[in-house]
Amino acid sequence: MAPQLTLQAPLELPPDQVPAYLETLWSQGLKGSTGAATFSLVVWEPSWLQQQLVRTGRLDGPISGLLSEELLEAARSAVTDCGLPPSTAPSAPELAWALGQQEGHHSAPDLRGQFVDRAISAHRPRRLITLAPTLTADTPLETLVAAYCPLPEERGSGEDACGDVVVLRGGMGAIQQGLAILQPLIEPDLPCWVWWNGSLDESPEVLEALATPPRRLVLDSSIGSPRRCLDQLVERIATGQAVNDLNWLRLRSWRESLAMVFDPPSRQGALQHVVQLDIDVEGHHPVKGLLLAAWIADRLGWHLETSYQLPTNGDGEGIGAEFQRGDGESVQFRLMPVPVGLAKTHPGALVGLRLICAPHGQAPLCVILCSESGGCMRLEAGGVASMELAEEVVPMPNESEEMELARLLGGGHDTTNPLLAAAAPLAAKLLPE
Amino acid sequence: MGATLTNPLRVGLRQERVIPPQCLVIFGASGDLTHRKLIPALFELFRQRRLPSEFAVLGCARRPWSDEEFRSRMAEALAPEVKRHQSAWDQFAACLFYEPVDLQQPADAVRLGTRLEAIDKLKATRGNRTFYLSVSPAFYGSGCRSLAAAGLLKDPSRSRVVIEKPFGTDYASAEQLNRVVQSCGQEQQIFRIDHYLGKETVQNILVLRFANTIFEPIWNRNYIANVQITAAETVGVEERAGYYESSGALRDMVQNHLTQMLALTTMEAPGRFDPEAIRNEKAKVLQAARLANEEEPWKCCVRGQYSQGGSRVNPVAGYRQEPGVNANSTTETYVAMKLFIDNWRWQGVPFYLRTGKRLPKRLSEVVLTFHEAPVHLFDAAGGSPTANQLILRIQPDEGAGFVFEVKAPGSGMRSRPVDMHFSYDESFGEPSDEGYVRLLADAMLGDPTLFTRSDEVEAAWRLYTPLLELIEDAPWQLPIHPYEAGTWGPGAADNLLAEEGLMWRRP
């Protein structure tokens, strides 16, 4: 799906004039329209990777904030050039940081906030506010404003489908200064979504200022240090804020595939006799694997006894844990980083899962799920051939971040998914201190 | 340790499509359907987290209820469910509103518009509305007119109307009603419900046919000898005598439910999984369908009516003895007929449809019987080999079966039929959603795939017009054959198949 530019060229205004301009625009310029009664969407859009790839001449502009195929290709070749491990994901902050150490003075037009993915614009956001920090820390604050209305054939007969786009661009200091004008720009009567489209390690004060409840937060727990990612998830869920984690959403096909194995009632009894759970992940970011393990543990009523660091295998340290089942028996858990030749887009993608069930008096059942057949090989070792074997290759989801976000916006939940709310605290406990 | 009752890993995963923010307006909110089907279905969707937080239900009827009274009446009607999920109900009930509305009064429709605007502001429902006409069929046309006159249908992307069955009582009335509703809004806004299409197994007919390569090459007159479609009920007329007396089995079941099963079984493969592509193919096949003998329709149709039955301990009243039924009623409670479809795929293949009340079993199924093997090489345990049959079970025990011949154990080479069995329960272990859950969700999503388009409805009525005219003009030519309650219908129905040397399947 091709992204859409705003229909009108954005107007650059002094920051303090933006609220008044928008008020005048809606009351006079777009007379008769009150704007779409939908939601506001605030996007933190640093796009450090794209900015660095453009600066070092590895990618042509413009800077759009979108993860295009060209960008991913350029990022993957940069991984090798920067001497990072091949399992480094393109969106890992380490890559942008490593590129930041390289020379380069290329530039390109910065159109962040002006590209609206059709999946998102189809939901007719009332106001789309983008915060676009630049690489140069002392760039002054620029504010751009554009109003748009869908074409007549797209909007039906209603005039109240119009919205506007506000972009705040500048160095980090300028962005923080811009936060002051942000508050009055957010419609108090409409739901507000905040999409933190960057690392959870950076700019905690900006995150704090943007993502105040009852605003609905969308974040990605695969970007940032695992501890910080999980703590943010847990703390915010505990306050009752609606939190949506794109990393959790990307687990959908794994959860579906595992549930499918146990759909036949004849297999469901085996779930009460799980003795071992192994998860392999790409690189050294364990959050996705921990969330999957925590979801399984929560659904099967396991109690966490202990978790610990496993010795390094060259690709990072693994995590071990022991759970206790409802009947008092123990379940061993291991999460291991494994090397891959071509990393997926986001850090810590799942490679494989193995679940061993040992019902009394019956042959053990071994379930292996993997992202590609190669991923199964390690998990097939260790004598599982003597067990009843159920193997599935998990289909790769092929959706952009914007599609995932659009699905959330379309759904409009004002609470956290209860499965994530239950899994996140357990995942945080699984991560050894 | 006993087996778990459900798959704990499945909980919460069924939220593939999330309904966009909107207000569902139910007309006839004080009626039976609202508290028996619609509100339970909505509550189920709410518990599955498929409803957004920007969601509201506005109940409308003539009774002067308040929001609170509507909520408490719904809670009362759903008491066991509410008790099980009290906190979810409390959240859901906050989405329920009520407005006294008589759609025949233009002023009421205008007031309704004002209330909806207030709800849009309160719940951020974005002016997105689904109007559900759960009212007497006599008011479908005028209801649509009132909504249109109040400007509530002018945006086709944000307003939809759901219309319950029956859609018309014959071809002329359906055509007239189509004209009226289409003058009020675009076809894409009209969702004509046939709750059979909400059944998982009915939808599975499409998946079975078009997601597997093995069936398509044999799904035609070269391999299939005949098709039987059955919808049998064990219940009698119950409390619906008033309605049933004027409709009968032909209008109540055949024109809609059985015809939809026929269409899904016989349609060509659509070019893509798209509502219009699917509905085009359904309409085309229905337009090609005809009674086996349109000149003398009494030769291809049998009507019946249940008479007293049961045992001395549990006697069952006959139809004419049921409360509210005319003692001399000539309304059919059973109908069987033979159809043909005049196209390349199905030319010459007889389709036998039957439905009835007070039959021995409650079941719906489609049975495709294949041609026999051209040469019988082996002795068959049953005298002659049984033709292969593919049985699509719609309800109960949803699933599919395939009957084929195997070697009977022993030293000889005798064959006998066996049944290969697929059961939804055994494979998935989870009960399917009630049909209304699926259909309400689809209507609110604006997905018309499982709803009947105007040309489908008209084609279905046109198909049975010779019978309806005969019943109207010369009913003695299509007499009512009595059958004992609890049996498989009148013996005359067997004659429909006997001339081909066939028999009804005894499921």
- Chain B partners of A407 at a C-beta cutoff of 8 Å? 18
Give pLDDT, residue B1: 31
Give pLDDT, residue A34: 63
Contact B57, B42 (CB under 8 A): yes
Spell out the CATH class of A252-393. alpha beta
- Give phi and psi for A96, each to the nearest 5: -60, -40
Residues B65, B204 share a domain: no
Q: What is the DSSP letter of B190?
A: E
Q: What is the CATH number of the domain that holds B388?
A: 3.30.360.10
Find residues 13-42 of chain B whose CB sits inside 8 Å of chain A: 13, 18-21
**How far apart, in whole angstroms, are the C-alpha atoms of residue A379 and residue A289?**
15
Distance of residue B129 Cα from the nearest chain A Cα, in angstroms:
13
Which domain, by its residues, includes B90? 22-164
Residues B136, B271 share a domain: no
Q: Which entry of B35, B195, B257, B481 is annotated as an active-site residue?
A: B257
Residue with the bigger pLDDT between A416 and A3: it is A416
Q: What tens digit of pLDDT does each residue of B210-258 get?
A: 999 999 999 999 999 999 999 999 999 888 888 899 889 999 999 999 9
Q: Is A272 in Cβ contact with B9 (below 8 Å)?
A: no
Contact B67, B98 (CB under 8 A): yes
**How far apart, in whole angstroms, are the C-alpha atoms of residue B248 and residue B471?**
11
Q: How confident is the model at residue A152 (pLDDT cuts 50, 70, 90)?
A: low
pLDDT beneath 50: ranges in chain B: 1-5
Q: What is the pTM of this model?
A: 0.79
Q: Is B427 in Cβ contact with A264 (below 8 Å)?
A: yes
- Chain A partners of B45 at a C-beta cutoff of 8 Å? none
How is residue A402 written in tokens? 């914007």
Contact B418, B382 (CB under 8 A): no
Measured CA angle at B85 (ends B84, B86), to 5 deg: 105
Q: Is the pLDDT of residue A157 over 50?
A: no
Catalytic residue check, B35: no
**How far apart, in whole angstroms, are the C-alpha atoms of residue A173 and residue A188?**
26
Angle (deg, nearest 10), helices A48-55 and A69-81: 70
User: Is the CB of residue A152 less than 8 Å away from at least one CB of chain B?
Assistant: no
Find residues 55-114 of chain A whose CB sits inside 8 Å of chain B: none
Q: How confident is the model at residue A348 (pLDDT cuts 50, 70, 90)?
A: very high
A158: nearest CA partner in chain B: B155
**How far apart, in whole angstroms, are the C-alpha atoms of residue B464 and residue B54?**
44
Residues B410, B268 share a domain: yes
Rounded to an integer, the average pLDDT of A335-359 is 90
User: Is the CB of residue A126 less than 8 Å away from at least one CB of chain B?
Assistant: no
Give pLDDT, residue A314: 59
Contacts of B86 (CB under 8 A, 6+ apart): none
Residues B88, B30 share a domain: yes
How is residue A345 written in tokens? 């887009």
Q: What is the CATH number of the domain that holds B158?
A: 3.40.50.720
- Nearest Cβ partner for A271 among B8, B20, B154: B8
User: Is the CB of residue B375 less than 8 Å away from at least one CB of chain A?
Assistant: no
Rounded to an integer, the average pLDDT of A270-274 is 93
Rounded to an integer, the average pLDDT of A63-68 is 88
Name the one residue in this structure whose structure tokens are 């193995």. Answer: A354
- Chain B partners of A153 at a C-beta cutoff of 8 Å? none
- Chain B partners of A300 at a C-beta cutoff of 8 Å? 8-9
How is residue A259 written in tokens? 């549930």
Radius of gyration over every alpha carbon of chain B, rounded to an integer in angstroms: 24
Domain assignment present for residue B192? The answer is no
Give pLDDT, residue A300: 96
Q: Is B4 in Cβ contact with A272 (below 8 Å)?
A: yes
In the A/B pair of chains, how many CB contacts fall below 8 A?
106
Q: Is the pLDDT of residue A78 over 70?
A: yes
Give pLDDT, residue A60: 92
Q: Is B158 in Cβ contact with A156 (below 8 Å)?
A: yes
Residues B208, B135 share a domain: no
Rounded to an integer, the average pLDDT of A249-272 is 89
Map out the domains of chain A as residue ranges: 48-100, 252-393
Residue with the bigger pLDDT between A313 and B2: it is A313
Average pLDDT value for chain A? 86
**How far apart, in whole angstroms, are the C-alpha atoms of residue A429 and residue A298?**
13
- Nearest Cβ partner for B158 among A158, A252, A299: A158
B127: nearest CA partner in chain A: A37
Q: What tens digit of pLDDT does each residue of B133-155 get?
A: 998 888 999 999 999 998 899 88
Angle (deg, nearest 10), helices B454-473 and B171-184: 150
Give pLDDT, residue A25: 77
Give pLDDT, residue B4: 35
- Nearest Cβ partner for B124 among A190, A252, A418: A190
Domains in chain B: how many in total? 2
Rounded to an integer, the average pLDDT of A373-378 is 69
Domain assignment present for residue B326? The answer is yes
Share of chain A above pLDDT 90, in %: 51
Three-state DSSP at A426 gives: helix
Three-state DSSP at B434 gives: coil
Residues B345, B474 share a domain: yes
User: Is the CB of residue B91 less than 8 Å away from at least one CB of chain A?
Assistant: no
Domain assignment present for residue B11? The answer is no
Give pLDDT, residue B242: 84
Q: Is the pLDDT of residue A32 over 70?
A: no
Three-state DSSP at A206 gives: helix
Q: How confident is the model at residue A311 (pLDDT cuts 50, 70, 90)?
A: confident
Residue with the bigger pLDDT between A62 and B124: it is A62
Residues B201, B58 share a domain: no
Q: How confident is the model at residue A1 (pLDDT cuts 50, 70, 90)?
A: very low
- Chain A partners of B1 at a C-beta cutoff of 8 Å? 269, 272, 327
Q: Is the pLDDT of residue A204 over 70?
A: yes
Give pLDDT, residue B239: 80
Q: Is the pLDDT of residue A20 over 60?
A: yes
User: Is the CB of residue A244 less than 8 Å away from at least one CB of chain B?
Assistant: no
